[in-house]
């Protein structure tokens, strides 16, 4: 049996990055998303493998908007969501889930070249909370 390598790639193995977000920044997390992974450059894309969100509960839960979302902007047709995460009343760690925005049509993609990946609140800025959060993201940089 012989195996022929048609094309070698420069894809990297699994990478991780942890970003801690202060409670003051969480209160603006819809209007001011926080970068998790920088745009990787031309011909490359970030492929999110998994993520874990942690909240170090202080004294007051957030209200109004509790869903965290990791995405790469409107072009991405898949997002990581931690539903109700910011409504926590104790320190906790949550593994979110990937949520497809519907079927991928001929003009759409789930992985977009050279795009930053960021975290934001899903619908509005949260209110009243005072806890720091951290996001640990597992990802790969792939050739596209």
pLDDT tens digits for 61-119? Answer: 999 888 888 888 766 656 778 888 899 999 999 987 776 655 556 666 667 889 999 99
In angstroms, the Cα distances linking 19 to 7, 34, 52, 136 are 35, 9, 11, 7
Q: How far apart are CA 95 and CA 97, in angstroms?
A: 7
Q: How many residues does the chain have?
A: 144
Which residues, at least 6 apart from 137, have a Cβ–Cβ distance to it below 8 Å? 16, 17, 18, 19, 36, 37, 48, 50, 51, 70, 117
Q: What is the dihedral of CA 8, 73, 68, 96, to 10 degrees?
A: -30
- Structural domain boundaries in the chain: 15-143
Q: How far apart are CA 71 and CA 62, in angstroms?
A: 21
User: CATH for 15-143, among 2.60.40, 2.30.30, 2.60.120, 1.10.3470?
Assistant: 2.60.120
Residue 4 has pLDDT above 50, yes or no: no
Residue with tokens 């209007």: 31
Q: Does residue 23 sit in helix, strand or coil?
A: helix
Residue 95: CB atoms within 10 A of its CB come to 11
18-69: per-residue pLDDT in tens?
999 999 999 999 999 999 999 999 999 988 888 899 999 999 999 988 888 8
pLDDT of residue 98: 73
Q: What band does 2 get if pLDDT is binned at 50, 70 and 90?
A: very low
Most confident of the ranges 3-17, 103-117, 126-140: 126-140
């Amino acid at each position: 049996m012989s195996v022929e390598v048609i094309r070698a790639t420069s894809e990297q193995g699994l990478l991780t990055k942890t970003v801690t977000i202060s409670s003051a920044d969480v209160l603006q997390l819809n209007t001011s998303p926080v970068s998790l992974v920088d745009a990787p450059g031309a011909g490359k894309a970030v492929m999110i493998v998994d993520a874990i969100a942690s909240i170090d509960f202080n004294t007051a839960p957030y209200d109004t908007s509790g869903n965290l979302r990791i995405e790469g902007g409107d072009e991405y047709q898949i997002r990581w969501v931690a539903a109700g995460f910011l409504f926590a009343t104790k320190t906790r760690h949550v593994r979110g889930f990937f949520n497809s925005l519907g079927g991928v049509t001929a003009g759409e993609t789930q992985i977009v070249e050279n795009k930053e990946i960021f975290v934001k609140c899903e619908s509005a800025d949260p209110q009243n909370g005072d806890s720091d959060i951290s996001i640990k993201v597992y990802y790969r940089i792939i050739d596209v």
